[in-house]
Amino acid sequence: MTLNDLPEIQITRNVRSTRLRLRVEGDQIRLTAPVFCSKKQIQNFIDQAESWLLKTWKLQQEKNQSIDRSLPAELQLFNQAQPIQIVYQSQKQDFVFDAKLLQLSISDRHPETYLKAFVITYAKEQLPVYLNKVSHETGLSFNICNVRQPKTRWGSCSAKHDIMLNSGIILFPENIVRYLCVHELAHTRHFDHSPRFWAEVAKHDPNYLIHRKILKNTVMPYWWAA
């Protein structure tokens, strides 16, 4: 296998980037480059990374083949004591959720897409409320909460104390969601990852190292990336 056998590398120039970054995501290869990088510099970087790229691509494809691609019959969300039962059927609406019965019906036209759409909708309703709850518990205040679907990060906190949370986090247990909220809220005190920052996190989540590891190592279901 050579670089010619791989899909075309998608190159993005970012004003915030200070270095070249290459990553394999699913069936795509992405390269982020600073705006001042020349085409020659980018090509040299790709050539130097050839061995790593081929190895990583092969491992990713093997991983993809082992992924369970069956649709879930139930969905456990972070703030529900019982799992939501799912039915896939022919219907006009993309999805219909009965909060009292904890039943979710998904259109069988594009079930993966509509299942993800439900998660995003639920997250946008519930995560800001939950973040506000954790904010009161910790005494760490924030400005606004945005819920989005970035591919490479679970959350962020801006200099204005605007917090972004990845909607996919609601598929984790509550203690993991709370860790993420604590992590981003701690950035309102310490805008870095210094020892003082981690001490602030530990103050509000003594088991943060365990929670952080779970968040880092858990593989999301295939339909989330579909």
Q: Where are the domains of the chain?
A: 3-65, 74-225
pLDDT at 145: 98
pTM (2 d.p.): 0.75
Instruction: For 22-73, write each residue's pLDDT tens digit.
Output: 998 877 899 999 999 999 999 999 999 999 999 998 888 877 666 677 899 9
pLDDT at 62: 77
Q: What is the arithmetic mean of pLDDT over 1-28? A: 87
Q: What is the arithmetic mean of pLDDT over 8-17? A: 89
Cα separation of 159 and 202, whole Å? Answer: 22
Q: What is the arithmetic mean of pLDDT over 104-121? A: 97
Q: Does 117 score more than 90 pLDDT? A: yes
Per-residue exposure over 54-69, b if at least 16 CB sit within 10 Å of its own CB, e if not = eeebeebeeeeeeeee
What residues have CB less than 8 Å from 30, skipping those under 6 apart?
9, 10, 11, 12, 22, 23, 24
pLDDT at 4: 86
Instruction: For 132-170, write each residue's pLDDT tens digit.
Output: 999 999 999 999 999 999 988 999 999 999 999 999 999
CATH of range 74-225; options 3.30.2010.10, 3.40.50.1860, 3.40.640.10, 1.10.443.10: 3.30.2010.10
